[in-house]
Structure 1
Amino acid sequence: MIVSIRKVASAAMMAGALFAASCSKPSGEAPAPRTEFNIGWSIYAGWMPWPYAQQAGIVKKWADKYGLKINIVQVNDYVESVNQYTAGKLDGVTVANMDALTIPAAGGKDTSAIIVGDYSNGNDGVLLKGSDDLKAIKGRSINLVELSVSHYLLARALNSVGMSLTDVKTVNTADADIVGAFASPDVTAAVAWNPQLSAMKDLPGAHEVFSSADIPGEILDLLVVDTETLKANPNLGKALAGIWYETTALMQQQDAKGKEARAAMAKLAGATPEAFDGQLSTTYLYADPAKAVAATDDPALITTMTRVRDFSFSKGLFGAAKSADAVGMSFPGGKTLGDTQNVTLRFDDSFMKMAADGKL
């Protein structure tokens, strides 16, 4: 079974934010160039290229090209990996777009998203018992991991049929418990992600009435790097892009080499090859850098991040901030969202462009 991601708790977020503030560098102190870096990851189908690349020697190949040493570090708990990055213990980390905003960026850590790796294309879903009509959700209690992408997906689902979160009641349920909860006759609605979602869809009377495939490109999975570290060490960005695109190109192959690579990733994730391929089928992987650049440059990304930040602010995930504009974000082409004097999340397409242009 592939361990689930995006397990978000407000306490962990706030701890990360406070930790970032306490560990921030003095104003004006630029980091010195370095040669060794630590990049954190946690288990998720779209992030398995990173540990596989390390195992297969692809990390070393690209690191050697730029005279670097890159350590790909597994962190068993997803939120802990993001908190470690926020605290400065990691130079970069794999993270969902919502969590990049609400943990490091909201905590004041200047962060650059340099690889848009994939989006959930059915890995997250809303389930009902006894009806295949989303409108039947009105008035029900919904079991989900509160303040996570499941909560965001529910808000988007309700909005699609003219409802809001005030039309339902949410019941905070740990991802480890949600399959058992939904199996109970008393629970008639839930939101979950894979692999739990697949198990829940197989339960008698279950109907998937909305999924992340209905909002393509909104639940994004990224590789982010500390902005100041990246500025002082641009070759790190080049090496990471080279690693990612060589590895994802390999795993897309339908020959023996591609099958072998996917099977190795499945093993690293604790899954069977069949289960891993199932996860990939509901994950839109940006293996082509040109497509990743197009997605990052698309105005739709600003619309998505506006929705994400407005939801996050409404749920108190920006701490004491008085406005959703408190956390600034920048996008390719000089476009910004929120406070231009406090930009702490940057979508940087430059390294993806280098890959697309063959200039790494």
Structure 2
Amino acid sequence: MRAPRVIYALILALFGLLLSACQNEHRPALRIATNPWPGYEFLHLAQMLGYYEEYGVQVKLLELASLNDSRVSFERGQADGFTGTLIEVLMARQFSSRQPRIVLVTDYSNGGDVLIAKASIADLDGLREKRVGVEPGTLNLYLLQRALETQGMKLSDVQLVGMNQEAMGPAMAADELDAAVTYPPFSVNMLEGASNHTLFTSREIPEEVLDVLVFDQSTIEQRADDIRAVLNAYAKAQDFARRQPDKAYQMMAARQHISAAEFARIVKEDIRLIDKHEQASFFPPSDKLLRSLERTQAVLRTSGDLDSSAPVQELIEGLAP
């Protein structure tokens, strides 16, 4: 009598596996909104290398033009998650009913975010009453305010001109802007000629400009395993880039429309990538991410871009891969 029971148990187990496979196959793809930024490219590298499928998760990367576009896509429910800075996380909480939660720190800007000005503007003090291009509701305002603070200046001391990143280069060339806050790949083209130069970079405010991957709380509750699969695929893409940097940089640089050499320089000099072993240093029980959120919230409240003073602890999820 034991043999039939064993066979019956095996049949049930096989049926369970088939049912699980069918459920995974029909589960909708996780939609992640991204914008051009070298630190986010490893999500795309994971897709190009087939790592999401390897970890059993379907992912749809929504390629948008700017940080603001990614945030708005998330706020409107068009994306389950998005990549952005701490500014976008705080803004998404304030301006929507969604509950953003940080699950991964991708990198921190170490010179990648820049304030670029025309050659005629020698220093930050020369920006007084000048036209400065910023992307509204994004890191741009934070970086500009931190730069102006070093000279005892305020945002009200300059003329803010709101526009998306793609428009800033042409606007500078057309003499419609005197300066702009930008980042790669857009900054690469703006600095190619001798007519522009850098006044301030994120290297001067180390570890303040964090880039993160965020999901809505409801998505985390319903699809925690799928999100862990995304984190594992992302980590494997980073490992691939360490083992085969030339191939990885070529693949990612082509998407950013810059040379592989320039991409390699950016990820080595202008940003600091955070690997899977370093994630714990940002999430609880460490308070590094918490302190960065509190500092960012304080700056945005001072500038008038954020009203909420709600505790930021709830924004940190920290799913273990």
SS at match of 2:79: coil
Matched, 1:183 2:173: yes
Q: 1:324 is aligned with what amino acid?
A: S
Matched, 1:138 2:128: yes
Matched, 1:57 2:23: no
Q: 1:61 is aligned with what amino acid?
A: E
Q: Between Structure 1 and Structure 2, whose CA radius of gyration is higher?
A: 2
Residue-by-residue CA offset, 1:287-334 (whole Å, 9 max, x unaligned):
x2232321345545334323432444456655xxxx431x4421xxxx
Q: Report how far residue 36 of structure 1 moved.
A: 4.1
2:308 to 324, 341, 345: 324
Provide the identity percentage: 21
SS at match of 1:119: strand
8 Å CA contact 2:82–2:213 kept in 1: the answer is: yes
Partner of 1:45: 38
In structure 2, how many angstroms separate the alpha carbons of the residues matched to 1:198 and 1:270? 10
1:99 to 65, 75, 88: 88
Partner of 1:160: 150
8 Å CA contact 1:183–1:203 kept in 2: the answer is: no
How do 1:1-360 and structure 2 match up within 5 A?
Answer: 35-42=27-34, 43-63=36-56, 69-78=57-66, 79-104=68-93, 106-128=95-117, 129-184=119-174, 187-253=177-243, 257-281=244-268, 282-286=270-274, 288-297=275-284, 298-313=286-301, 317-318=305-306, 323-325=307-309, 327-330=310-313, 343=314, 346-351=315-320, 355=321
In structure 2, how many angstroms separate the alpha carbons of the residues matched to 1:149 and 1:60? 33
Q: 2:225 is aligned with what amino acid?
A: N
Q: Report how far residue 193 of structure 1 moved.
A: 1.9
Partner of 1:17: none
SS at match of 1:349: coil
Runs (5+) with no aligned partner, structure 1: 1-32, 64-68, 331-342, 356-360
In structure 1, how many angstroms separate the alpha carbons of the residues matched to 2:289 and 2:150? 19
In structure 2, how many angstroms separate the alpha carbons of the residues matched to 1:112 and 1:185? 41
Q: 2:45 is aligned with what amino acid?
A: Y
Q: 2:38 is aligned with what amino acid?
A: A
Runs (5+) with no aligned partner, structure 2: 1-23
Q: Report how far residue 80 of structure 1 moved.
A: 4.0
Structure 2 vs 1, CA of residues 76 and 138 (structure 1 numbering), >3 Å: closer, same or farther? closer
The number of aligned residues is 292
Q: Report how far residue 151 of structure 1 moved.
A: 1.7
In structure 2, how many angstroms separate the alpha carbons of the residues matched to 1:171 and 1:88? 28
Q: Report how far residue 247 of structure 1 moved.
A: 0.9
Q: 2:312 is aligned with what amino acid?
A: M
In structure 2, how many angstroms separate the alpha carbons of the residues matched to 1:173 and 1:231? 36
Partner of 1:22: none
Structure 2 vs 1, CA of residues 107 and 272 (structure 1 numbering), >3 Å: closer, same or farther? same
After TM superposition, the score normalised by the length of structure 1 is 0.71
SS at match of 1:284: strand
In structure 2, how many angstroms separate the alpha carbons of the residues matched to 1:133 and 1:315? 22
Q: Give the helix-richer structure, 1 or 2.
A: 2
Residue-by-residue CA offset, 1:110-155 (whole Å, 9 max, x unaligned):
1211111012222221233335433333343323334332221110
Structure 2 vs 1, CA of residues 86 and 172 (structure 1 numbering), >3 Å: closer, same or farther? closer
In structure 1, how many angstroms separate the alpha carbons of the residues matched to 2:112 and 2:224? 33
In structure 1, how many angstroms separate the alpha carbons of the residues matched to 2:98 and 2:176? 43
The range that moved more, 126-135 or 104-113, is 126-135
The range that moved more, 41-50 or 307-316, is 307-316
Q: 2:217 is aligned with what amino acid?
A: T
CA RMSD of aligned residues (A): 2.8
Q: Report how far residue 211 of structure 1 moved.
A: 0.5
Q: Report how far residue 225 of structure 1 moved.
A: 1.4
In structure 1, how many angstroms separate the alpha carbons of the residues matched to 2:154 and 2:311? 26
Structure 2 vs 1, CA of residues 234 and 205 (structure 1 numbering), >3 Å: closer, same or farther? closer
